[in-house]
Chain A
Amino acid sequence: MSLRAHYEEELREMREHLLAMASLVERHLELAIQAMIKQDEGIASIVVKDDDKLDDMKVAMENSCISLIATQQPLASDLRNIFTANEIATDLERMGDYAVDIAEIAIRLKDEKYIKELDKIPRMAKIALTMVHGCIDAYVRSDAELAAKVCKTDDEVDDLTGELFAELYSMGGRETRDIFQMIQFLFVAKYIERIGDHATNIGEWVVFNVTGKLIDLND
Chain B
Amino acid sequence: MENAVKISVKNLNLYYGDLQALKEVNIEISENSVTALIGPSGCGKSTFLKTLNRMNDLIPNTKITGEVLLDGNDIYAGDCDVIELRKNIGMVFQKPNPFPMSVFDNVAYGPRVHGERNKRALQETVERSLKAAALWDEVKDRLSKPALGLSGGQQQRLCIARVLAVQPEVVLMDEPTSSLDPISTGKIEDLMDELKKKYTIIIVTHNMQQAARISERTAFFLLGDLIEEGDTIDIFKTPRDKRTEDYITGRFG
Contact = CB atoms under 8 A, between A and B. Distances in A.
Do A and B come together as binding partners?
yes
B250 A4 contact: yes
B3 interface: no
A87 interface: no
Contacts of A73: 208-209
A80 B237 contact: yes
A4 B251 contact: yes
Given A212-B237, A212-B238, A77 B208 contact: no
Interface string B221-253: 000000000000010111100001100111100
B249 A78 contact: yes
A122 interface: no
B212 interface: yes
B241 to A, nearest CB: 11
A211 B238 contact: yes
B249 A75 contact: yes
Contacts, number: 33
Contact of B248 (A75, A80, A212): A75
A209 to B, nearest CB: 10
Interface residues of A, number: 14
Nearest to A7: B250
A211 B237 CA distance: 10
Interface string B71-96: 00000000000000000000000000
Interface string A24-64: 00000000000000000000000000000000000000000
With a 10 A CB-CB cut-off, give which of B212, B236, B249 has the most chain A CB atoms: B249
A79 interface: yes
Contacts of A74: 249
Contacts of A70: none
A77 B209 contact: no
Contacts of B209: 73
Nearest to B246: A76
Given A211-B238, A212-B237, A212-B238, A77 B250 contact: no
Interface in A185-204: none
A4 B246 CA distance: 11
A76 B250 contact: no
A212 B244 CA distance: 15
B238 A75 contact: no
Contacts of B248: 75-76
Nearest to B209: A73
B95 to A, nearest CB: 25
Contacts of A3: 250
Contacts of A79: 236-237
Interface of B: 208-209, 212, 234, 236-239, 244-245, 248-251
Given A76-B239, A77-B245, 12 more contacts: A73-B208, A74-B249, A75-B249, A76-B238, A76-B244, A76-B245, A77-B249, A79-B236, A80-B238, A211-B238, A212-B234, A212-B237
11 contacts: A4-B250, A7-B250, A73-B208, A75-B212, A75-B248, A76-B238, A76-B239, A76-B244, A76-B245, A212-B234, A212-B238
